[in-house]
Structures are given as C-alpha cells and as structure tokens.
Structure 1
C-alpha cells in the first residue's frame, strides 16, 4: 500500500481534550489519539466514522 493510500490522521493541530476526553480539534478520544499510530487502516476508518458522528453532534 502506498503512502497516498494510507488513512491520514484527522489532527488539525488544535489539541485539547474536553471533559468527555474528546479532542476539541479532531474529535478523537484520548485513547484513539494515543493508539492511532498502532492502528491498521481498517481501525483508522472506524475511528473516522466515530469522529464524523461526534462532529455532527457537536454542531447540534
């Protein structure tokens, strides 16, 4: 798999965890952030699905 095909981190360099342990910048949990480099692309896509759901709820 080429580098271009790898799932990239959603980090936007606004790194601060809220009271629920969710980053206010990328919407990942603290655990998801810590484990990101050890995850395979399937796991990363699952995280990105949860991130999208968190973003939708944050906009409500």
Structure 2
C-alpha cells in the first residue's frame, strides 16, 4: 500500500481571500481533504506549495 499523504496543515489557520496563509490550501481543498484520493492529495499539496511561494512574508 502506498504511503499516506499527510495534510499540509501547519496549525496556523488564517484565511485571506479564501486561501489559508499557513498551508496554502483553498477553503474547498481544506474542506474536501479527507475525501480526496492519494493522487488528488499529491496535486493539492503541490499547488498549495506553489501558492505559499507567492505569498509575501513579513
């Protein structure tokens, strides 16, 4: 069996414009995480990582 994909949540749940500034996921991605299959989770983690790179940091 394939290794479980862990949630990218870092327990800094702050939403800004429908996006969590802690993990980079959208509200919809967060809501559907548990029901996602492994390939969808992998894509979500990749998209979230790309979003986080674009968020300005203090």
Q: TM-score, normalised by structure 1?
A: 0.85
In 1, Cα distance between the equivalents of 2:49 and 2:11? 17
Of 29, 43, 48 in structure 1, the residue corresponding to residue 45 of structure 2 is 48
Q: Provide structure 1 residue ranges, at least 5 long, that are not aligned to the other structure.
A: none
| Higher relative contact order (CA closer than 8 Å, sequence separation 6+) | 2
- Please, what is the CA RMSD of the aligned residues? 1.5
Q: Which runs of 5+ in 2 are unaligned?
A: none
- 1:10 paired residue number: 8
TM-score of the pair, normalised by structure 2: 0.87
Residue 19 of structure 2 corresponds to 22
- SS of the equivalent of 2:47 reads helix
Q: Which has the higher strand share?
A: 2
Q: How many residues align?
A: 57
More helix by share: 1
